[in-house]
């Protein structure tokens, strides 16, 4: 049995409810790509809370607890200040709120780059404290040895190449990568190195489309695009971007809803009713029993 959570409307608290074990596994995700082909593309979205996980879980193959929570949840200027504590706490909430998708948690900046031993210690902590099934780390060929080290010790790893947000200070911004021949060759080479090292999937972010396609065709594991190509083996977006929670989003985001507008409109209606003393009404108050 697995555990998912539903809202108890009498208390507004999440309470555990047994659900049949339907959670996908890392090997099943890896097996979606066979002989270089993926029949049904993988669906991945970010999730940072239990309730968000509940709503997204049945529609996704993977839920990514991304270090993008630094900007989305905490209002930080980049992902660089995100800590292991933040990632572990939010990942645990997402695991509690889901029962179907594979939960992958980002390893934050500074938690894995120093050595493969540091990476193992950080990844083991994240998986122990959260129950997540896998970790994700940024970097290509230079991280291949670390990926192999983790994989050989029972920690599934998702790679991340192309535009790597944790390296924004080195890259000088968030511009698309792969426009020069040298950079394009490096991106494909990075993906191949991670594939050989045992990564079960690789995120390709912010890469010009022909290079994303070339990288996808060059590796045996699934690729998951974000600002890459529909010909990647799957896609991921930050859920809040896709839902229209922010006015400014990257070029590659498609807004499927204007959730920010709905929230603002609803808050305005609530404020109007409070100020006019129309809320709370009889239905929202406790009256003396007759």
57 belongs to an annotated ligand binding site: no
Residue from 72, 127, 120 nearest 248 by CA: 72
2 belongs to an annotated ligand binding site: no
Q: Under a CB-based contact definition with an 8 Å cutoff, are residues 94 and 14 in contact?
A: no
Q: What are 5's two structure tokens? A: 């959570």
Residue 205 a catalytic site member: yes
68 belongs to an annotated ligand binding site: yes
Residue from 188, 139, 185 nearest 164 by CA: 139
Q: Under a CB-based contact definition with an 8 Å cutoff, are residues 212 and 223 in contact?
A: yes
Q: Under a CB-based contact definition with an 8 Å cutoff, are residues 250 and 240 in contact?
A: no
Catalytic residue among 113, 192, 205, 282: 205
End-to-end alpha-carbon separation of the chain, Å?
46
138 belongs to an annotated ligand binding site: yes
- C-alpha triplet 29, 189, 155: angle, nearest 5°: 40
136 belongs to an annotated ligand binding site: yes
Binding residues: 67-68, 106, 136, 138
Residues with a catalytic annotation lie at 205
Binding residues for Mg(2+): 67, 106, 138
């Amino acid at each position: 049995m697995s555990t998912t959570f539903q809202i108890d409307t009498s208390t507004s608290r999440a309470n555990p409810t047994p659900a049949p074990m339907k959670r996908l596994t890392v090997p099943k995700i890896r097996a979606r790509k066979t002989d270089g082909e993926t029949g049904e593309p993988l669906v991945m979205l970010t999730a940072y809370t239990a309730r968000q996980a509940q709503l997204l879980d049945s529609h996704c193959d993977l839920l990514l607890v991304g270090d993008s929570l630094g900007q989305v949840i905490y209002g930080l200027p980049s992902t660089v200040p995100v800590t292991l504590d933040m990632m572990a706490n939010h990942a645990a909430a997402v695991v509690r709120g889901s029962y179907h998708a594979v939960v992958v948690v980002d390893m934050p900046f500074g938690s894995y780059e120093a050595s493969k031993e540091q990476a193992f210690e950080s990844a083991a902590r994240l998986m122990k404290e959260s129950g997540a099934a896998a970790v994700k780390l940024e970097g290509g060929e230079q991280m291949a040895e670390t990926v192999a080290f983790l994989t050989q010790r029972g920690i599934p790893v998702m790679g991340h190449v192309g535009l790597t947000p944790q390296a924004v200070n080195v890259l000088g911004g968030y511009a698309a990568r792969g426009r020069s021949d040298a950079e394009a060759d490096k991106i494909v080479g990075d993906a191949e190195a991670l594939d050989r090292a045992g990564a079960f999937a690789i995120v390709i972010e912010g890469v010009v489309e022909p290079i994303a396609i070339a990288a996808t065709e060059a590796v045996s594991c699934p690729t998951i695009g974000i600002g890459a190509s529909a010909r990647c083996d799957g896609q991921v977006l930050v859920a809040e971007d896709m839902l229209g929670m922010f006015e400014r989003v990257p070029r590659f985001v498609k807004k499927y809803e204007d959730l920010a507008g709905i929230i603002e409109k609803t808050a305005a209606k609530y404020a109007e009713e409070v100020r006019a003393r129309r809320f709370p009404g009889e239905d929202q108050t406790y009256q003396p029993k007759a």
